[in-house]
């Protein structure tokens, strides 16, 4: 059974970089047809798509975060990572990693990590 | 970017039917997916591609999609169905992004 697990610091200072890693087990991150994504949820609010990537390195970011986000992959470790630069309090959220299934034009999130709360504060 | 709108809340009695709507311009031309999120937990996919269910999801959960409205229907509602529900589409015309609805909190009376 596929499992995803986020890891990283729970507290980040304003203006610094938020870094999270998602470790995939029970399946290969190089599986054909699957993308891998990051989603966040501020406390008490809804879900926000951050971006996604394919194992070959192709990445896609939501326009509002594009200037500050990088998603990368390490196939040897079966992991992918999120980097969010110049954070502010507005970036405080639970960050989820997930597998993106479906087809080229119809995609959904079929497996999620448990989430990692990241607080931006000095 | 594409916008999906959901009513903030919905109350339903046990055994009754909950109907959760998701509005978007010409959403009927897209494929809609639905997630259930219970407090303190990660979302779970309950319906994909308008009306398909992942394995393990009860038949009580069903979906439909037409014109400007997609619908998630929960039949014979149980206390355990109390949760937040989000719709989602894939916007392949806009940097290959997923778009979520605003979310609906379902309360079982």
Partner-chain contact A63 B95, CB within 8 Å:
yes
Q: How many CA atoms lie within 13 A of A27 on its CB side?
A: 18
DSSP E strands, chain B: 9-12, 18-23, 33-37, 44-47, 61-66, 69-74, 83-91, 97-100, 104-108
Partner-chain contact A96 B42, CB within 8 Å:
yes
Residues of A in contact with B94 (CB under 8 A): 63
Query: What tokens were used for B60?
Result: 């009580």
Partner-chain contact B31 A46, CB within 8 Å:
no
Residue B94, pLDDT > 80, answer no
Choose the closest CB to B45 out of A49, A66, A110. Answer: A110
Q: Looking at residue A42, what is its pLDDT?
A: 98
Q: Quick: pLDDT tens for A56-108.
A: 888 999 999 999 999 999 999 999 999 999 999 999 999 999 999 998 889 99
Q: Looking at residue B84, what is its pLDDT?
A: 98
Q: Quick: pLDDT tens for A21-57.
A: 999 999 999 988 899 999 999 999 999 999 999 888 8
Partner-chain contact B45 A48, CB within 8 Å:
no
Q: Quick: pLDDT tens for B34-90.
A: 999 999 999 999 999 999 999 999 999 999 999 999 999 999 999 999 999 999 999
């Amino acid at each position: 059974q596929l499992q995803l697990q986020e890891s990283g610091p729970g507290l980040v200072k304003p203006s610094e970089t938020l870094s999270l890693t998602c470790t995939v087990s029970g399946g290969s991150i190089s599986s054909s047809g699957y993308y891998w994504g990051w989603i966040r949820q501020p406390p008490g609010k809804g879900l926000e798509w951050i971006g996604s990537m394919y194992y070959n390195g192709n990445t896609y970011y939501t326009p509002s975060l594009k200037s500050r986000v990088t998603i990368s992959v390490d196939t040897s470790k079966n992991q992918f990572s999120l980097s969010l630069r110049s954070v502010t309090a507005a970036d405080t959220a639970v960050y989820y990693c997930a597998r993106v299934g479906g087809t080229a034009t119809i995609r959904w999130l079929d497996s999620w990590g448990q989430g990692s709360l990241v607080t931006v504060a000095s | 970017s594409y916008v999906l709108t959901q009513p903030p809340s919905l109350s339903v009695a046990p055994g009754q039917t909950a109907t959760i709507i998701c509005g978007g311009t010409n959403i009927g031309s897209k494929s809609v997916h639905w997630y259930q999120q219970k407090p303190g937990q990660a979302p779970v996919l309950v319906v994909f591609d308008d009306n398909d269910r992942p394995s393990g999801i009860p038949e009580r959960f069903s979906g439909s999609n037409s014109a400007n409205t997609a619908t998630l229907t929960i039949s014979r509602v149980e206390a355990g169905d109390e949760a937040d529900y989000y719709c989602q589409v894939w916007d392949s015309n806009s940097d290959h992004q997923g778009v979520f609805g605003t979310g609906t909190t379902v309360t079982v009376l």
